[in-house]
Structure 1
Amino acid sequence: MPGNISRPGESATGRVLAILSAFDDRHRALPLAELASRAELPLSTAHRLAAALVRGGALARRADGRYAVGRLIWELGLLAPAQTGLRQAAEPFLHDIYGATLATVHLAVRDGDQVLYLDRLAGHASVPVVSRVGSTLPLHCTGVGKVLLAHAPDEVRSRVLASLPRITPFTITRPAMLLEQLARVRRDGYATTVEEMTLGACSVAVPIRRGPDVVAALGIVVPSLARDRRRLATALLVAAQGISRTLDGSGR
């Protein structure tokens, strides 16, 4: 019930946590009234706390007035043992691939029905891409996203297949065609995209496993796959195996 009547004596810390907990994978940006309702706080209290959290970087206020999770929360999240271990394990392999190709290299995980970019290496010679560390993009039209979608639970695939927005003229929007591609990803061990997220950008991506489970994806973005598809896929698979060995041996 809106308002804090249902939680008399709520501490300041509890109210702040209620504000932050109002966000989830289906509510990534909230107007103040909805934020207050979901946090079960009076509008004035939500406004005051949200303003303080924006000043501290825990929330961000968008141009349309809606609130979203801020950079501070993302940076703190990266300190969690699981994410820290994955990024640390992958870092030297990302640098090796980038050094050999000068192409954009991605490390990503699934965040609900989207792909979340944990790390990215790019330079002046790399193909321009829209991804950035901490950003999310659709699963169905990114290389790393297709890898993660191919190995996601059935209910996640069903939700994603129910809505396949067209990002470029080359985005796969037919569920049957995407399902065929996902089956091929599981069979061949890698995914590809051809200008499906960004015109002029193609990608190859492979799964990173910890034990039998796919926990992340490793990808590279290049201008064309006409000649180097197999070579890039092989290089990524070797790197992914190295990351997996590091994860399996770390005990994290």
Structure 2
Amino acid sequence: MNTPTTALITGASAGLGAEFARQLAVQGHHLVLVARDRARLEQTAADLEQRYGTTAEVLPADLTDDAGVAAVVGRLTDAARPVGILVNNAGRGLLRDFERNNIADEKQHLKLHCEAALELTHAVLPGMLERGSGRIINVSSIAAFLPRGTYAAAKAWLLVFSRWANLAYAARGVTVTAVCPGLTHTEFHERMGMDKAVAPSGAWLTAERVVREGLADNLRGKAVSIPSKRYKAVAVAARLLPDRLLTGPARRPK
């Protein structure tokens, strides 16, 4: 049952985060929008409120920073304003190979994808369990099934964490889903500086489809959501094929 509640979405100013916010607003949920850029957040919030009649609270925070994480934890643990849906969506990519990356960038990358999601889930979970209801969506990736560097490794952590958490807490009313999209048209690759032409046009999904299928699978209680048949097939192939065949096309800058 999709009862209106408050949804907190990280990385909500663009891409999948903004689409999660839009679709949850359409469903009647109130929103807490988290991202680094206050101006973009305020613009997104104003647009959602005007279009869908929802309320959209803005919470600027950098989730690679301890103070930013603490600010979001404080909002999630505010018993007077409970959050019924948490979408851990904030993320980034690293274009270069591991040995060429600055280790500080790698540590921030890991903190954003794994540590921040861990802390925010840990913060929101007690209230959800006490109320006997809650929904947590962790935006992973089809890369979680593939041997493709530290991005894939971080997304694999989110995938396994979500599978375990759904098994552990679904009987107590809290559904946890890892959404694992393939290549998706958002700002993600442009921000990373990646040339999107390395992948054929047919490989790309829309943000609308990824979010729609992810939200539906979460409502169904599924621990893993892989939007589209083509990427479901990739996940199956990943279990059968040798690693050397699964590395994919080389990333290249624009």
The TM-score, its normalising length taken from structure 1, stands at 0.25
Compare CA radii of gyration and give the structure with the larger one. 1
More strand per residue: 1 or 2?
A: 1
The TM-score, its normalising length taken from structure 2, stands at 0.25
RCO comparison, higher one (Cα < 8 Å, 6+): 2
